[in-house]
Each structure stands twice: as structure tokens, then as C-alpha cells.
Amino acid sequence: GAGVSQSPSNKVTEKGKDVELRCDPISGHTALYWYRQSLGQGLEFLIYFQGNSAPDKSGLPSDRFSAERTGGSVSTLTIQRTQQEDSAVYLCASSLERGLETQYFGPGTRLLVL
């Protein structure tokens, strides 16, 4: 596809369950970002991947959150033992390279933890 895609578009889960969110970046983009956005709030940076470099995990809120990027393309964000405060829209973005890049965002995954 031409843009960043994410799946699922919506996810409802019970507290304590694990969830996996997927991001397919734009082909050829070496940089990939995960953010989350709570209702009415700005973006909260979670993690960043650039090529084969070690990811920047400085934004992950707890050790329940992890992400991987396989083959330099698709990325999966995993939240273990979900809590109600994890409810948010999880956004993925990609860019050609780090630096003066334009980040292209996917439509997001709306996560609701009951």
C-alpha cells in the first residue's frame, strides 16, 4: 500500500490480557515510530527504530510494553497484562530516515481495556 497501515483498527480487551498491535510502514522507510494518544491529549512517544540500530525505548512507560521490528519492516507493539490506563490510540509512523524527516502516520489502533 501507499501509506502506513496498522491492525487491528480497534481492539477491546480485558484487564490483564496481553495485546499485540501491528504496523506496516511505508516500503523503503528505515525509521519507524510508535506513539500513543489518550483522549484529548497530545502524542506520547513510545519507541523508535532506525535500520539495524538498537531501538530508542526511552518512551516506553513500563516493562509491560515492548516492541520489535522484524526484517527492518513490520513492527509489533506488545502490551502485557493490560491495565485500564493503557486505553488509548496507538499510532505508528515511518520516515525515510531520522533527522529532517517527515513522519507519515498510520490510522492508529484504538485500544480499550475493560
Partner 1 sequence: DAKTTQPPSMDCAEGRAANLPCNHSTISGNEYVYWYRQIHSQGPQYIIHGLKNNETNEMASLIITEDRKSSTLILPHATLRDTAVYYCIVRRRSGANNLFFGTGTRLTVIP
Q: Give the C-alpha separation, 5 to 8, whole Å.
A: 9
With CA atoms as reference, report the closest residue to 95 among 28, 36, 22, 37. 28
Residue with smaller CB distance to partner 1, 45 or 78: 45
CB of 90 to partner 1, least distance (A): 10
Residue with smaller CB distance to partner 1, 17 or 39: 39
Residue with smaller CB distance to partner 1, 12 or 16: 12
Residues in touch with partner 1 (CB under 8 A):
4, 33, 35, 42-43, 45, 48, 50, 56, 59, 91, 93, 98-100, 102-108
Q: Which amino acid is at 26?
A: I
CB of 98 to partner 1, least distance (A): 7
* Phi, psi of 96, rounded to the nearest 5 degrees: -60, -40
CB of 16 to partner 1, least distance (A): 28
Residue given cell 509489533 in the structure block = 76
Sign of the dihedral through C-alpha 92, 66, 60, 70: negative
